[in-house]
Structure 1
């Protein structure tokens, strides 16, 4: 969906803005023309990125209407195709800049460790913007402006994001509670998934995906695994989140903080967290040094960047096992699944 792609670009831009602003505001020697030049490029980059984000928010408000009309309206279909193409270009540019930020941060850390200073300091260095990147972002921003203007010509309606595609059947969100008295014929499969979860403990992070068509029992298997005593004894923290169509990193991070008891308790003193970076920092502090089992139920996301952004806080954990239910193997591949599990149809005697 185009909405997921636009959310990915917005999330990436939001997380990069602090680094860009720090480069604009970093002190420099008055005799350093190169530093002044870099600061000017950073300021231009910042202005174009902020304008781009405002444009994307306007486009985002019309996407639900556009995706409803895509099937029957060729001009809207072409508009969405162009939108996705430019969004991918924007994602590429921002990913390149994110690489530069990461590289500078690693070098600064090495320098700090070599000098024996382990105290965290406010970033006071300039992240150089690669040649041509300012012009590339400016062209992308101009193309997005044209796309935003075209939405008026197509008479696309703005939405609050609540409406969904009429041609999709949405299932209600499922929790981790399950009535075992009504479950038959899944013991062998449950034990197999548990073995996957508890094996290879030397790997700090792994994903196990349960893949299959709707109604085959993916969520039921996950529910029974989640409450199994052999599993609960092996992890410090547990979380269950129903994902569904839109892989909104901010919403999912909030949901995990609410789902994981320790994360919820630690965050009660901090009210009003809404920024992705603040929420992820809060979650990272809560899972630091812990073992955690997280179930992501009904995942549809095929965007690699969204997944990479989502998993950032879990790098602080000692051991992470993520159990995913999805209908699509491509989704499991994007999440870098270590083990794939496909439930079979129940035997006839269990069905009876």
Structure 2
């Protein structure tokens, strides 16, 4: 059973990868020039794997071969996420340089690559992408032998809450790998119960360390579930658009009307005045309505932007939550953690070898 636990995050991981692969930035700044064919193949293959991943995850509980296939898929997905993070970083770097924000956003001091020469970059990244495509095609060949059924993948924002507890045993995971990290972050969060100001806790670490998985463990921790009366999860990943992000947060909140207020009892009369007023509300207004008076935990997963004014605009509305409200963020960028955090960032270290 222990070997099966890690495979259960493959679906959300692939969904995140699909979003990165489809990023408009990649085409806009021509980072993938010369790699269009591999890019298109990967897009198609990802969709095919996503079609059957739910069935594959269920089958892993009773078929050792499927569990091994999922582990291999997870490994390739992590590698591919890394590659597309590099593409996205380079796209953002060029965009910042073009707009004159290069030094303001810190790109002159963040050096992820040996060189910014675009020919060297494309050559190196082309080799990485071709390897990933070969690995994906091999996985597809194996996949076709299992006879999986097409099943719709649940959205990333909801799937964290709804996994089969018989397979996805949170206590089993934490006892094997991130028990101490999970406890430390839960203690930090719960310790803010009497804080009238919004607390922002960043989890920082390089790609592939399991920041998202750790945030998921915290999110599902029984103490957290009891402590908060509203739990929200949003994957940011790409461009930090304030209105779109506000809408995503509202969409993650259960039992809300379009204007963010509590759903009215069906017997209550609505004379149309309230409805007319709600149409004028902006996504940020609605977000403020949703969080007002609630002690909430919001996970903002995979944040990249260093644009302070955008974060401050969103934060101003999130601050209307109840006492002890917390935003938990995951990022690989220490600059992002410094901008967003109100407490010391939690720096995630690599797992001990016995857990890998």
**TM-score by structure 1 length?**
0.51
| Contact 1:196–1:339 (8 Å) recurs in 2 | no
Q: CA deviation at 1:2?
A: 0.6
Q: Return the alpha-carbon distance in structure 2 between the equivalents of residues 56 and 267 of structure 1.
A: 39
Q: Residue 142 of structure 2 corresponds to which residue in structure 1?
A: 150
Q: Return the alpha-carbon distance in structure 1 between the equivalents of residues 219 and 279 of structure 2.
A: 38
Q: CA deviation at 1:142?
A: 2.3
Q: CA deviation at 1:79?
A: 0.6
How do 1:222-301 residues align onto structure 2 when only pairs under 5 Å count? 222-223=228-229, 240-243=230-233, 254-258=247-251, 295-296=296-297
Bigger-Rg structure (1/2): 1
Q: Residue 159 of structure 2 corresponds to which residue in structure 1?
A: none
Q: Residue 80 of structure 2 corresponds to which residue in structure 1?
A: 90
Relative distance call for 1:139 and 1:211 in structure 2 (3 A) is closer
Q: Return the alpha-carbon distance in structure 2 between the equivalents of residues 267 and 12 of structure 1.
A: 34
Residue aligned with 1:134, SS: helix
Residue aligned with 1:72, SS: coil
Relative distance call for 1:212 and 1:268 in structure 2 (3 A) is closer
Q: CA deviation at 1:164?
A: 5.3
Relative distance call for 1:93 and 1:157 in structure 2 (3 A) is same
The alignment status of 1:159 with 2:165, answered yes or no, reads no
How do 1:1-352 residues align onto structure 2 when only pairs under 5 Å count? 1-15=9-23, 18-24=24-30, 42-110=32-100, 128=118, 130=121, 131-161=123-153, 165=164, 167=166, 193-198=192-197, 205-206=200-201, 215-216=222-223, 218-223=224-229, 240-243=230-233, 254-258=247-251, 295-296=296-297, 306-308=301-303, 314=311, 316-317=313-314, 319=316, 323=325, 334=330
| Contact 1:48–1:141 (8 Å) recurs in 2 | yes
RMSD: 5.4
| Contact 1:62–1:159 (8 Å) recurs in 2 | yes
Q: CA deviation at 1:13?
A: 1.6
Residue aligned with 1:76, SS: helix
Q: Deviations over 1:264-308 (max 9, x none)?
A: 9999699xxxxxxxxxxx9689889xx9998347x7xxxx9x432
Relative distance call for 1:146 and 1:46 in structure 2 (3 A) is same
Q: Deviations over 1:159-201 (max 9, x none)?
A: 123695372599xxxxxxxxxxxxxxxxxxx99634335278x
**TM-score by structure 2 length?**
0.51
Residue aligned with 1:62, SS: helix
Q: CA deviation at 1:153?
A: 0.5
Relative distance call for 1:315 and 1:159 in structure 2 (3 A) is farther
**Structure 2: gaps (5+ residues):** 1-8, 105-116, 155-161, 170-188, 204-214, 239-243, 262-275, 332-336, 345-356
Aligned residues: 245
